[in-house]
Amino acid sequence: MDAIAVRRDEQRPSVIDVPIPEADAGEALVRTLRVGVDGTDQEVLRGGHGEFPEGEDHLILGHEAVGVVEDPNGTRFEEGDVVVPTVRRPPNGTNAYFERGEAHMAPDGEYHERGIVGAHGFMAEYFTSPEEFLVEIPREQAALGFLIEPISITEKALEHAYASRSAFEWTPESAMVLGNGSLGLLTLAMLEHVHPYERTYCLGRRDRPDPTIDAIEALGSTYVDSRETPVNEVHEVHEGMDLIYEATGYARHAFETIEALAPNGVGALLGVPEPWEFEIDGGTLHEEFVLHNKALVGSVNSGVDHFRAASDTLAQLPEEFLDSLVTGVHTLDDLESAFADDDTTIKTAVELSAYEER
């Protein structure tokens, strides 16, 4: 079967031929429909994040998949069920994080991530998965089911951010998303349509006309250009934010968020930057944290419950927004477009097979 992989010493994806995987006991065989591409895939291609499977010279890409159960192989699924796989797998048998369903909280070495860290991904015509890592979704979500994994990332991050504000009465009104990539825009749409924010903002570094700025404004949100208003001045130019969601991977934003938060606010950090040394005023930031009861939470990956919540969330996002977000669904003969990293591309997916309802 065809699969899309990055080979060692290469930085672009190639189509390779690999055998159709065989499902072990407890695993289902899934025919892949579509697999989304995000900033992490670009980082994996550039060699900035992730790891090849042990002893191998290529990594099959893709962690945002949706597929159809081809062979349930004795699992709870039926042929034709539409499913989305979670990303993490245990590296050597199971461990305590996986046993309690919290693989998303496992530290380095206690997980592989399919398509990212140490395990092949889902960008192949078929994949297998243990049934506990497959989440069934409604058939009408087959076309956009590749958005469930990224939405689940935000479900987890918001759960953790809100948990940090649960010891007192917190009634957030303002929220800012840092980053107008696909994760940032999906999150902005969630804050507008699923969460109760009265005012939302989204930070980028682009000139108009730009499709992400159009999407931000169509959502009813305010675009903030970081070249005019750096994050640590946002509270002076606009307002202190009750919630900040960092999705730029720009390391300074982690620290500038502390200043941009309103008293009692919380920042969720999602970006995965590479090493970068710079100066900060640690004393002022430390004081700001303490005297204004601020919190920062880091968050990575997501679990089965976050995937379920993400499917409900996807159903609540407006169709016009989703149409503007997904700028292309490409077959294997147009990988160039699927992995384009330019200003006209927001979210793309690779289509491995077409969905036909049985």
Chain residues 40-99 in contact with ligand NAP, contact rule CB under 6 A = 40, 43
For residues 248 to 277, the per-residue mask of contacts with ligand BGC, x marking binding by CB under 6 A and - elsewhere, is: ------------------------x-----
Q: Is 247 in the site for ligand NAP (CB under 6 A)?
A: yes
Q: Is 87 in the site for ligand BGC (CB under 6 A)?
A: yes
3-state SS string for the chain: CEEEEEECCCCCCEEEECCCCCCCCCEEEEEEEEEEECHHHHHHHHCCCCECCCCCCEEECCCEEEEEEEECCCCCCCCCCEEEECCEECCCCCCHHHHCCCHHHCCCCCCEEECCEEECCCCECEEEEEHHHEEECCHHHCCCHHHHHHHHHHHHHHHHHHHCCCCCCCCCCEEEEECCCHHHHHHHHHHHHCCCCCEEEEEECCCCCCHHHHHHHHCCCEEEECCCCCHHHHHHHCCCEEEEEECCCCCHHHHHHHHHEEEEEEEEECCCCCCCCCCCCHHHHHHHHHHCCCEEEECCCCCHHHHHHHHHHHHHCCHHHHHHHEEEEECHHHHHHHCCCCCCCCEEEEECCCCCCC
- Tally the C-alpha atoms within 13 A of residue 189's C-alpha that lie toward its C-beta: 28
Check if the beta carbon of residue 37 is closer than 8 Å to that of residue 350. Answer: yes
Q: Which is nearer to Zn ion, 40 or 348 (CB)?
A: 40
For residues 10 to 39, the per-residue mask of contacts with ligand BGC, x marking binding by CB under 6 A and - elsewhere, is: ----------------------------x-
Stretch that binds ligand NAP, among 9-17, 23-31, 93-101, 178-186 (CB under 6 A): 178-186
Chain residues 38-67 in contact with Zn ion, contact rule CB under 5 A = 38, 40
Q: How far is CA 189 from the centre of its chain?
A: 14
3-state SS string for 72-111: CCCCCCCCCCEEEECCEECCCCCCHHHHCCCHHHCCCCCC
Can you tell me which of 28, 203, 268, 309 binds ligand NAP, judged by CB under 6 A?
Answer: 203
Q: Is 249 in the site for ligand NAP (CB under 6 A)?
A: yes
From the list ligand NAP, ligand BGC, Zn ion, none, which binds 187 (C-beta under 5 to 8 Å, kind-based)? none
Compute the least distance from the CB of residue 256 to ligand BGC, in Å. Answer: 22
Q: Which is nearer to ligand NAP, 175 or 203 (CB)?
A: 203
Q: Is 301 in the site for ligand BGC (CB under 6 A)?
A: yes
From the list Zn ion, ligand BGC, ligand NAP, none, which binds 295 (C-beta under 5 to 8 Å, kind-based)? none
Chain residues 1-40 in contact with Zn ion, contact rule CB under 5 A = 38, 40
Q: Is 301 in the site for ligand NAP (CB under 6 A)?
A: yes
Q: Is 153 in the site for ligand BGC (CB under 6 A)?
A: yes
Check if the beta carbon of residue 177 is closer than 8 Å to that of residue 200. Answer: yes
From the list Zn ion, ligand BGC, ligand NAP, none, which binds 145 (C-beta under 5 to 8 Å, kind-based)? none
Can you tell me which of 1, 105, 300, 332 binds ligand BGC, judged by CB under 6 A?
Answer: 300
Q: Is 116 in the site for ligand BGC (CB under 6 A)?
A: yes
From the list Zn ion, ligand BGC, ligand NAP, none, which binds 87 (C-beta under 5 to 8 Å, kind-based)? ligand BGC
Tokens for 355, please give them: 């969905």
Can you tell me which of 70, 81, 113, 351 binds ligand BGC, judged by CB under 6 A?
Answer: 113
Shortest Cβ contact with ligand BGC: which residue?
Answer: 40
Q: Which residues bind ligand BGC (CB under 6 A)?
A: 38, 40, 63, 87, 113, 116, 149, 153, 272, 300-301
Q: Which residues bind Zn ion (CB under 5 A)?
A: 38, 40
Q: Which residues bind ligand NAP (CB under 6 A)?
A: 38-40, 43, 153, 179-184, 203-206, 226, 247-250, 270-272, 299-301
